[in-house]
Amino acid sequence: MSQRNVERVIGLLVTDEGLRHRFLADPKGTLDSLIADGWELNPCETEALRVLSPRRLAHFAEAVDPRLQKSDLKKQGAK
């Protein structure tokens, strides 16, 4: 089940702009929060996710069709 959660976290990081911004600002805290919310990730998976390249993650997110993206309305409202 853990591999599925890794895939789900990566999918969320790519499609959920708000989560991605939180993750880029605080990878460990964001992953700790997901784990506290019940996501099952072992320490090895958590560390591997924590060190994802911010540049590559952003590049991948940009490659995904905007219709599949969840916008960060809080960020947009702050402008």
List the domain boundaries for the chain: 2-62
Provide the mean pLDDT of the chain: 89
- pTM here? 0.81
* DSSP states of the chain: -HHHHHHHHHHHHHHBHHHHHHHHH-HHHHHHHHHHTT----HHHHHHHHT--HHHHHHHHHHS-GGG-B--HHHHHH-
- What b/e readout covers 38-59, taking b as 16+ CB neighbours within 10 angstroms? ebebeeebbeebeebeeeebee
Task: Flag whether pLDDT at 75 surpasses 70.
Answer: no
| Arithmetic mean of pLDDT, 10-38 | 95
> pLDDT band at residue 79, thresholds of 50, 70 and 90?
very low
